[in-house]
Structure formats: C-alpha cells, structure tokens
A and B are shown apart, each in its own frame.
Chain A
Amino acid sequence: MATDTSFSRRLARREFRSSKDARLSVGSSVMKIISSTSVESLLTAEEDFLEYLSFLSTVALNALLRAGAVDPGNVKLLQHFNESFHGLWELISASYKTLKQSHEQNLALDTDELYLLQQAPGFVHIFKEYFESVTDFMVVKGFDRAAKQASSYWKSNKKVLRQMIKDTSDGPVHVLLQRVFIDPFRNHVQHYTLFLSNLTEDSEAEPLSDVLNTFVELQRHISQILDEASQTKILWSQISNKLTLALCHPERRLQEDSRNVPVAVANGRYERVLLFNDMLVFLQGHESKSFDLKTVWVDSTVKQKSEPNNYLLRIITPEDEVVLCAKEPQCQGLWLWKINQLIRQVLNGSRDYPLWGKAGEVTNPPTCRFSTYTFRNEGRFKEATYEGDMSWGKPHGKGTLKWADGRNHVGDFKFGQEDGFGICLIPNSSQDRYDCYKCHWRSGSMEGYGICEYADESVYKGYFKDNMRHGFGILECGAPDTNPFKYTGNWDRDKRSGYGVWESKNKGERYIGMWLNNNRHGPAIILTDSGACYQGIFNSNKMVGTGILLSEDSTMYEGEFTEDRLMAGKGKLTFSNGFTLVGTFNRNASLGLHTQGVLNTTSAHEDETTKRKFQLGAELFPVEERWNGIFEPFLKFLESGCQGETEEFFLGFHVKSSKKLQKSQEYLYCERDKDEVSGKIEDIIKEISVFQKQEDLQLYLEKAFKSSHHPFKKLLKILLLVYQATYSGVGANLHLLSMAQEEIKYYGKKLLEFCRALLATAGERNGHRNCILDEDEEMSDTWAYTLILPLILPRFHPDLFMLYMLYHEQEDGFYWQGIIRLGHLTDTKLLEFLDVQKQLWPLKDVKLTTNQRYSIVRHKCFHSATECLQKIITTVDPKEKLEIILKTYSEIERTVSRVVDKDYKLPMDDLLPLLIYVVSRAGIQHLGAEINFIRDLMDPSNRGGIYDFLLTALESCYEHIQKEEIRHYTC
C-alpha cells in the first residue's frame, strides 16, 4: 500500500532527525528523570493512536478522498485535509519512535529528551492545522456529502466506524464520519495534557509547566475552533440556499449573530446582522450586504438624541454607513469589542491563538491602515481601486488609486480625496499615451504648482486651480508636426488670459501682450524675426484700429492696419532720415503698397531720434501687473506663515536637470558644496533670524541665490525664464529696452519685499523684530538697488546688455570711429590735441631710448588710469562699475600730482581733457551701452552726487569722442 511505504519512509526520516535533535539538546538545563511507568503509558497511547490513525486512513480517509474527488469544489480542501492528516501521523510516529528507542534501551529519560517537550510548538502547530482543515471541510458539509456519495460503502462500514469511537448510539453516517476524524484526536491531545500535568505534579520546573500550558491552550483552541465550526455549519443550514451560496466559504466562521446578542439596524434597513471572521453581513430577506472587515471602522461615540437609551454603533465603510442599535450597553460593548478584535485579526492576516480569551492583552485595530478597496457607487471613484492608507473608511495618507479606464493616481490623500502631492496618469483617448500630471492637489482637484506632460508631448509648468491651469504657467508644445509654440504667461480657468508671451517657433514671431479666452485680446506688441515690430490693439485675435509698425531700418508707420497687420488706411510714415509722409495707404495685389499723401522733407533731428528709439509697451503693461502670477503665490506663502509643507504648493518644486543630477551623484563621494544653504523654510527662518548686520544678510542672500532648493533661487529661475521668454531671441529689440530694464528693477523691489517679509516672519517666530532692512521707509528702494540687484543682475545681464548695445548701436559706432582716429595719435599729439596744459603732461612716465622721440610714444601716459578704466567691463554691478570710475579718477589725480610735484586739485577745465585722453586710450567697446546701463540701474540715491558727476563726466567724454571734429580729425 502506498500509504504504508510512505509511512515507513517518513518514519525513517523522522528517526534520523530526532536523533540529531536529541544529541543537540544533551546538556540542557532541566534534568528530571521520568518514571518508566509514565513513559510506558505515553508509549502505549502513542502506539494505540498510531494504530488508530493507520486504521482510520485505510477505512475512512481513503474512501473520503475517493468520494470527495468527484466534487471539484472539495478537491483542494480534501488535499489540505489529507496533508494535515499525514503531517499529524508523521509527528506521532516520530514521537513514538523516540520513546520506544529509549524505552527499549532502558535508558532513563530526561524531561528535555522527551520528544513531546522538545517539539511542543510543532505539536501545537500540527494539531492546530489539522483541526482547521477538518473544520474547513466540516462547515462546507463535506462529511455530509461524502456520506451520501458513497452511501453503500459507509453503510457496510458503519459498524466499524462506530467501534472506532466506541459509540453505541445509532447516529447517522455523516455524524459518525465527522466524529471519527475529531473525537480521538481531541482525546489524544487531552491525553498529552494529562501526561504533562502528572509530570508537573512531581516537579515545579518552569519549562514543564510552560509546555503544559501550551497544551491546555491548544485544547481550548481546539474546542473553540470546533464550536465556531458547528455554529457556522448550523447557520448555513438555517439560512436560505441562496444566502448560503453567496456567503458560505470553507474558512468563514460565524462570530456573532444579532439573534444571539441582539442589535438592530437603525431605520430597519436590515433584519439580521452576522459577524464573520472576515466580514460583516447584513441580511434582509434573501438579500445580503457584506463588508470586508479590512475596511470597516466602528465608532461607538455616536448618540441619538431622540432615544438616549439606545446604544449605538456606527459602522463605517468606504461607501456605506450602518448604525447598529442595542438596547443594552453590554450588547453594544460585545459587538464593538468583537468587531474590533476581528478587524485587528483580519488585518494581521491571522486569527488569534487561542481564538478568544486574551481580553486584557489585545488591542484595537489601528484607525489608519493599509487597505485595498474598489469603489462601486456612482461618482468620481466608480470602479476605481484604491490601495493605500485608509482611515475611517476614506483614503487618507499615501496611496494609489486606479481607475478601470487606466487612469492612475499615486500620491497623498486626505479624507477620501487627493490632497497633497500626487502623480496622476490619465489615458489619452486618441493615442495609446497618457497625460501625466505631477502636481499638488487639494480636496480632489489640482491646485497649486504642478507640471503636466501631455500625451501630445506638450508640457505645462505652472499653477493649477480646480483641475485647470490657473495663474502663471508655461505651456510648451514642441511637436514638430503641429505648430510648435511656447506660451509664457497668465492663465484663467484653463485659458490664456491676461499678460502673456507667445512664441511661434516656426514663424519666429513673438506676441507680447494681453490675452482673453485663449485669444489675443487687448494691447500687444508683435516682434518678427525680420526685425519689424508692431504695437497695436487686438480683438479676438485680430488687430484693430491704429497701431505702430517699426521696421528694421527704423522707418516708423503710425496709422491704420488691416486685421492681418498690413498697412492700410490713414497713416504717417516717418523715414529714418526724418522725412515724413502723411497720407492714405492702400494695398493692391498687382501694385503692392501705394499711397497718396504729403511728403515733408524738413526733418527735425530730435523727432527722428525719438522715433528711431521709440520704446514699446512700457505704459501699456504696467510692470506691477505683468508677472503678478509669479509673485502672488510667493506672497501668499509668506502670508500663510511659511509652513514647510505648503512650500512646494506655492513655490513649485525643484526639478533636477540632468546636469544637476550628475552633480548630486558627485555628492556621494565628494563633500557637499559648502556654499549651498538649506532650502527648507524652517532652516531659512532659523538662519536669518540671527542676523544682526546687513552684511550677514547680504552674504546669506548671495548663497541663497545660488542654492537650487532655496525659494529665492526658485523664484529667480522663474523670473529668468519669463525674462528670457520676453527679451531674448526675437525679443532682443532695442524698442523693448525701457520695458526690460523697468522689469528687472521691479524684480529687485519684489525680492526685497519678500526678503523683508521673511525677516518679519523670522522675527515674529522668535519674538523680536529684525531691523536690518527697516531703518527708514524711504530707504526701501535703495536696498533693492544695493542689496538685491547686484545679486540678481549677473543672471539677466547678457540679455539686458544686449538691448543696451542695440539701443546705442549708432552712437557706439560713432564713438568707435573716434576711438580709432585718436588711436592713431601719439601720446603727446593727443595731449596737445586735447589742449591739456603742458605742465600736466606726464612725460616722466615715458622712458626713451636714445633714438626715440616723445612724438612717437603711444599708450604710455596715464597708463594706470587707462588700465583701471578698462576693468569696467569685468563686473555687472553698477555700484562696482562706478567705483572703478572713481578709482580711475584717483589714478589721474595721482599721476598729475606726481608730475606737478604737489597736490593738485583738478578743476573741470583740466579734468575733462585728461579724462577724454584716458577714455580714448582705454578703448572700451559699447561705452554708451555701459554708461546708460549704469545710469539706469544704479542706486537712484546717487543722483546729483559724486558718482553721478563722474558718470556724467564719462558720458560727456563719450559724447565728445563721437563728435565730427574727432571722427574726421586728420593730423
């Protein structure tokens, strides 16, 4: 027989292992000799039980397996049953083997050599499992069906069965069948307990009583298991077939029944409540509604005002709520306790051991738990499956929500809604691709800063509100097959609205101006790659009324246009030479542009210059309103008290570029850059709150503007983006200079404002005011120029300076001609030409060899001053540039003082020619651009003062060099 051979094989294996175990345990602490009579009794019991098992296997188990194989639903159960049966058999055989061995050798047995004691946990485990598999089979009426299936076999063996359990009554076959698999097993456990308790009586040794306790516990557990099983089995036969079919499950056990411990469902929605080990079920007629205990929360704090004598339990599930009413507080208490214990057990994934009865030690389940739930009710979440932290029936914490259509949200949840940072993938209907939103959510919709990568490869980076783009944002569409564009500007409910810059990449055209409902609407400037620019009013994407066209050759047209920006109608043309033409312009397919009008050839020079350098946009788009969408969230963040967790929501998050990523990886083995300051708002506030002096703040800001995680740097980065979107590329147009420099100064002011607010917040938190920046209200602007601008200007300088260069192109050209002309002159010739008093000529500086004459020396006089002035281009900070000019002056004065051998105070009559000399020798390119850059961006409080004077002196030199008499001077 197959079972017999396997039995012997197992026996052999067991033997080997047990002997090894025994060897290992030699020398253990407890030594207690067991009397041979007790050993003998145990040996007999094991022998009898083994015999029984073998017999049972032959008579009943094999038949059961054969009969059960017919019913596919039972196959698995029976398999498990069979396995646990054999597991048990093996265990008993091993126990028997070791006992017999020692008994035969007549060795005295130590307690710790006893297999039963050595392997106590194994015994407990195997018996537990056996009873579980038996009851699983039992509750689904496995025995009943097996009895029916092979009724003739059983009938013939009924007597044998009855003998096996020494029963005299005439019970039905299925009851007998059940009992032969249960009763002797229980008895055997009992036998163990008795044996152990006899042993314990003789000795007080702790390990022994521990083992005894485990077997007592096992006994209790077994009877509870059997109890639960029979209760459950009874239930399945009581309720209707339909309900049984729906609810019956081998591992499901009835834990409580409202018919047993009475509770009613409020509003009479259901007539009966059943609590199982894995779910809570409400019955109404033949209908049932069940709730997975993993997603059930019980609240016992509710009270009903109308009926204060009712004791209520609120059952909370993700999509349903049921209130249980009990008349007695004990009933309420029992249900509450049982439900909570079962929830805890189901969350742990295992039942308690023993099932009940450790009341004092157990805890309630956590309110916040990791669960999975699929929503069924109508609504946003229908058919979506949530997996993650839940609390009181709602997604709360971190989790993933997957919709049936492929939509997927991973992130933070609060009270059942997406809230906090989250990444959401939304399938795009047209393509097999996704829109990917990485952004902040509030109460289920996108709000705050976010990045969206759309399925069509366009990318939006900016602010959201109510799931729509709202506030400042950049939308870039790079798909080559469509019309690639980039919009940098304001949004209102998903539509372009307010100030914004649009760049069509194919056409090379840029629209800077107002939008409404995605349309160009309001005042605007259009720059084309041909260098022409328009200023006009738009209405629903069409240009209306009069406008201005500035062509690259500086011809200006003021007048009427067609919708497509063609000159048509009344207008005035001002040519670059100053001639004007006033008339009516027409466009005709064959003739092109033709006109009738009055040509004025008396050009007013001044008028011509203002037209040539006409500044666009400054009064159309007040600088305070242009980028409000960027500053506002920052301000709100400051106003909201700078809470760390809201920082990204307001200020956006730091996205590492690949270059940065590389850098961050370098950190793995390099020391972290010491210049980085923390970007965490708490750290920032802590750090700045101790500043005493302005220098501290200055040093800090210097680092802050370089630290990629710092809010100031993030803001600066966005400002740089919008600045470049407007003024670089096609935007590098001299007609935008006024707008551009105004904008940068405004950035400085805003940053100063934020700096102040941060200091104030830091002060509030520490209870003392920080007064670094608040000396005098009237100084407010000065700080922007002296503290902020020098720090941010380097980033903007290339683009801004380009505008200055374009603006001063012509003057710089004349100036350069002058410089070249004067460059031909020798030092003495130049000094003479500039009418510098002979006594001031620093000819001592010139060392001549015998053959040289003064008249051929070049670039020797005032060498130190010349070199000094040349340094003006090494910095972008206006203040530093002014200091260089001042130093240049001191160098001139030093040289002169040396020449005349006394302190010589230079009056302007002497200084100006000397300065012209130095400027012409220094040969700084784009000096006009430099001068005007300094003048526009220097601290305005310098006006009228020493720096202003020197700058004016320098400017007058620049002017002078441009003059005809210089440019065309011939020696």
Chain B
Amino acid sequence: MAIRELKVCLLGDTGVGKSSIVSRFVQDHFDHNISPTIGASFMTKTVPSGNELHKFLIWDTAGQERFHSLAPMYYRGSAAAVIVYDITKQDTFHTLKKWVKELKEHGPENIVMAIAGNKCDLSDTREVTMKDAREYAESIGAIVVETSAKNAINVEELFQGISRRIPPLDPHENGSNGAMKLGRQSFQSTTRCC
C-alpha cells in the first residue's frame, strides 16, 4: 500500500487546545512505529484511507498574536489545515475566521480546511453555537466538528474527515494539493526570499 505523507498544520488561538487534540489523536491508538515527535509540536500518525495509507505530519503553530505573521512558514506546503477554536470563547472563533481568510488568500491552493470546536465537554459555558460554526464552515467549504480532546470525542473523526477530502493520488500528477508521496518530490530549487 502506498504511503502518502500529508502535511497538516494546526492553527488557532493560544489556549484553545490545538496540541491537545493532536496528542489525543496520536496517543489514542497503539502505534507500531514509534515516530519521533517534537514534544506536542510535531507529531505523526499513519491511518488507512481507502487503499492508501495517510501519514499525517502534524505541525503545530504558536497561537500568540505576536507570532501570527510567522504562520505562513508553517502552512506552506500543507495538504490540510486544522483550525481550532474554543466553543466557550467567542474570541477564538473570531480568530479562526481570520485564519480562514488568510489561508484563502495566501495558503496553498486546494488546502483542505477542518474546523474543530474544541472543549465540547464544557458546553455549559458555550459561547459559540454549533449552528453558527456549521453555517460558517459550509460557507467556506470546510469540515467542521466539535471535539473534546479531554474526553476523546470526535478527534478520530476529524482526521478521518480530512482523509476523505484528500483526493486520491493521480499517478500522473504529483500532489498538486500539497500532498507528498514518500520520498519523491520535485524539489523546487529556487531560493525563497525570507
């Protein structure tokens, strides 16, 4: 089975639980291949999808406002972006919208966007309704789920949703959506400016 490496970047305000979701996703299943990780900042997990294996290379980003401008370096070349907000904090949903807007403008073409409303276990103090989130997600064509990293709700489903959205690899075309086949890239040698 072919392994496809998919770079996924995590965006969202600090404190919304970006890395918790991924930690949950990565830890939930026993992984035969213990992949190297960078704390909770870089993690990988391989899941089957159709007749392919998807290896998610998950890049965390710093949520602090002051580091916002550094985000493009992280999301360039991503196949998917998981944008996380805290359902108990309206602000974080607002930040999410800014991220979506930025990705639309500057992100990779055809990037799969997944919106995760985290901390659904705290729905008592909910500030963002499910309906709002769903409507917004539909308007931008993104996946949306409410998750709880704490209680392991919908975490798996979030990534399954992303997997489904990744178009199967056309053998004649080499990952125009930012997906990479293991070990084979047409490496762009042009030097970037910083």
Interface of A toward B, CB cutoff 8 Å: 609-610, 613, 615, 618, 737-738, 741-742, 745, 776, 778-779, 781-782, 807-808, 811, 835, 889, 893, 904-909, 911-913, 928, 932, 936, 940-941, 943-946, 949-950, 952-953, 955-956, 958-960, 963, 965
A contact patch SS: helix
Q: Which 10 A-B pairs have the closest CB atoms?
A: A906-B39, A907-B19, A908-B60, A940-B187, A905-B40, A912-B62, A956-B70, A941-B183, A944-B7, A949-B42
**Min CB–CB distance B33 → chain A (angstroms):** 13
Q: Is the CB of B60 within 8 A of A907?
A: yes
Q: Is the CB of A906 within 8 A of B41?
A: yes
Contact residues in B for A778 (Cβ distance below 8 Å): 183-184
Q: A738, A940, A949, A965: which contacts B191 (Cβ < 8 A)? A: A738
Which size class do B's interface residues fall under?
35 or more
Contact residues in B for A950 (Cβ distance below 8 Å): 38, 42
**Min CB–CB distance B61 → chain A (angstroms):** 5
In the bound assembly, the distance between CA atoms of A958 and B67 in angstroms comes to 12
Q: Is the CB of B62 within 8 A of A909?
A: yes
Q: Is the CB of B14 within 8 A of A905?
A: no
28 A-B pairs whose Cβ atoms sit less than 8 Å apart in the complex: A609-B193, A615-B190, A738-B190, A741-B189, A778-B183, A781-B187, A808-B194, A835-B66, A889-B38, A905-B39, A906-B40, A907-B18, A908-B19, A908-B40, A908-B41, A908-B61, A909-B62, A911-B39, A911-B60, A913-B62, A932-B194, A936-B189, A941-B184, A943-B77, A944-B77, A949-B41, A959-B194, A960-B67
In the bound assembly, the distance between CA atoms of A375 and B134 in angstroms comes to 101
**Min CB–CB distance B40 → chain A (angstroms):** 4
In the bound assembly, the distance between CA atoms of A62 and B74 in angstroms comes to 119
B contact patch SS: loop
Q: B36, B69, B190: which contacts A946 (Cβ < 8 A)? A: B36
**Min CB–CB distance A103 → chain B (angstroms):** 110
Q: A893, A905, A908: which contacts B62 (Cβ < 8 A)? A: A908
**Min CB–CB distance B192 → chain A (angstroms):** 8
Q: Is the CB of A911 within 8 A of B194?
A: no
Q: Is the CB of B41 within 8 A of A941?
A: no
CB of B82 closer than 8 Å to a CB of A: no
Q: Mark B176-194, 1 if CB is under 8 A from A, else 0.
A: 0000101111010111111
Contact residues in A for B77 (Cβ distance below 8 Å): 943-944
Q: Is the CB of B39 within 8 A of A907?
A: yes
In the bound assembly, the distance between CA atoms of A285 and B44 in angstroms comes to 104
Given contacts A912-B62, A950-B42, A960-B67, 11 further A-B contacts (CB under 8 A): A742-B189, A906-B41, A907-B19, A907-B60, A908-B62, A909-B63, A911-B38, A940-B187, A943-B180, A949-B59, A959-B73
In the bound assembly, the distance between CA atoms of A936 and B10 in angstroms comes to 25
CB of B46 closer than 8 Å to a CB of A: no
Q: A779-B183, A959-B73, A960-B67 are in contact. Are A911 and B189 (CB under 8 A)?
A: no
Q: Is the CB of A745 within 8 A of B74?
A: no
CB of B5 closer than 8 Å to a CB of A: yes
In the bound assembly, the distance between CA atoms of A738 and B191 in angstroms comes to 6
In the bound assembly, the distance between CA atoms of A745 and B36 in angstroms comes to 28
Q: Is the CB of B57 within 8 A of A944?
A: yes
B59-115 contacts to A (CB < 8 Å): 59-64, 66-67, 69-70, 73-74, 77
In the bound assembly, the distance between CA atoms of A101 and B28 in angstroms comes to 128
In the bound assembly, the distance between CA atoms of A526 and B60 in angstroms comes to 46
Contact residues in B for A945 (Cβ distance below 8 Å): 5, 44, 57
In the bound assembly, the distance between CA atoms of A905 and B60 in angstroms comes to 12
CB of B154 closer than 8 Å to a CB of A: no
B1-51 contacts to A (CB < 8 Å): 5, 7, 10, 14-15, 18-19, 23, 36-42, 44
Q: B64, B182, B189: which contacts A941 (Cβ < 8 A)? A: B182
Q: B14, B19, B64, B180: which contacts A944 (Cβ < 8 A)? A: B180
Q: Is the CB of B194 within 8 A of A941?
A: no
**Min CB–CB distance B36 → chain A (angstroms):** 5
In the bound assembly, the distance between CA atoms of A952 and B192 in angstroms comes to 13
Q: A610, A782, A936, A956: which contacts B183 (Cβ < 8 A)? A: A782
B161-184 contacts to A (CB < 8 Å): 180, 182-184
